[in-house]
Amino acid sequence: MFPSDYLLQTPSIEDMDDMLLNGTCNVIASMKFFINQKEPLIEGERNGTFVFGKSLLSKEPFAIATRNDDREFSDVVNRIIETILYEQGQKEPMLCQNQSVPTPRDVLDLNWTNSVHCVGNYTEIFGDIGTLNPLNENASGSLYATPFGNLGDSTINNASSKDMLPRIRKNESFSCGVAVPDNFNGNITGSDRLVCMSVEYCRTLAAALHNGDPETTFLSFPEADSNSFIALANKTIDVLVGGRIEPRYNFKQSPSLDGVHFSTPYYYGNESTDEVGVYAIATREDDALFSSFVNTVVLATIYAQENGINSTDMLEMPLVSSFGSDVSWALRDAVAYSGNYDAIYAECFGRNVDRASRGRNRVNEILAVEQPKACSK
């Protein structure tokens, strides 16, 4: 609408505020959280000098970044964020517990709720949490593909032949463990519903790994049996699907059972209780590159759904060189096999299932929340 020379990039939030207040800019755009914290802007809205817009056009998420050479510390950070969100929905506040003893050396002994009871829950920390950020209490769509950015911007050059990604591609074999209900006695490759979803995500991952070939070796495990995580730890299987995300497995359980990494969820249960089952692909934590690849493939099915891409127009999927130039077509191969998220869901739950009845297993279609730093003059 306006020529590009009408837009000014500001060096900081403070400079942007000053440029609005002194008339250099007629409009500023930034994160709602920051704008709402500026008293001159709040006062300007009260007296009619400024108007806060209500159209939120961006949905890039914000997160805490950690190095990938210490996955346990990354898991601690994630667990604290999860605790802050979980406590948001609890009705009975609990008191901050001052530690009278040294901080535990074992991560499993940490008091996670102190992060909330001594600081605050999500709303208490951030105040106005916007449109996308409230807790999902009404079973609306929970599927969201984190924006990919430029996946072809760089190539990982330090992957060795011992790493999972090049090893699986060289061996041309891929082993997937599937957790099934304890009373399950069928054939996992001929199943429907959640078991089918798990199997299809394994095959989609295999297609991404092997230039479109979905061939996969399957091993099944009772869902309540920890042997599935032992099999993952001792490399009997390459990934584990079909089980709930259990935060305790993020951390080392014993000398023979290291922590695991859970991908973005691909299925949410429909339980009416607080303990909703959340299902994802589990990988070992000793190979951050492979875990990232697996997560990216799961996100690709959701991204394809968000952007109306299916198997026939898989060329609309981005190329990705971040994991090596030999797998640059990985996301295209994945979508060429499986299609988008709705296609996988329809394959497993039936094509006549009403989207509204799918609960959280829908793409989150609420428009975005945040704006980058910029102003127009």
**3-state per-residue secondary structure call for 143-174:** ECCCCCCCCCCCCCCCCCCCCHHHHHHHHCCC
Amino acid identity of residue 54, one-letter, is K
For residue 178, give the 3-state DSSP assignment.
Answer: strand
Length of the chain: 377
Torsion of CA 50, 52, 57, 62, to 10 degrees: 110
Global pTM exceeds 0.85: no
Residue 335: what pLDDT? 98
Give the contacts of 170 (CB within 8 A, at least 6 positions apart).
161
Phi, psi of 363 (to 5 degrees): -65, 135
Residue 230: what pLDDT? 92
Residue 365: what pLDDT? 66
Residue 322: what pLDDT? 83
Phi, psi of 180 (to 5 degrees): -125, 160
Q: What is the mean pLDDT of each run of 10 residues along the chain (377 residues)?
A: 74 78 82 68 81 67 84 86 74 56 72 78 72 64 80 59 82 92 89 95 97 96 89 95 88 80 91 74 92 95 94 94 88 97 95 83 60 34
User: Distance (Å, rounded) from C-alpha 25 to C-alpha 6?
Assistant: 9
Residue 82: what pLDDT? 82
User: Distance (Å, rounded) from C-alpha 101 to C-alpha 87?
Assistant: 24
Pairing of strands 374-376, 27-29: antiparallel
Max distance between CA atoms of the chain, in angstroms, equals: 72
Residue 309: what pLDDT? 95
**3-state per-residue secondary structure call for 26-73:** CEEECCHHHHCCCHHHHHHHHCCCCCCCCCCCCCCCCCCCCCCCCHHH
In 3D space, the residue among 177, 180, 291, 188 whose CA is nearest the CA of residue 239 turns out to be: 177
Residue 300: what pLDDT? 96
CB 236 within 8 A of CB 228: no
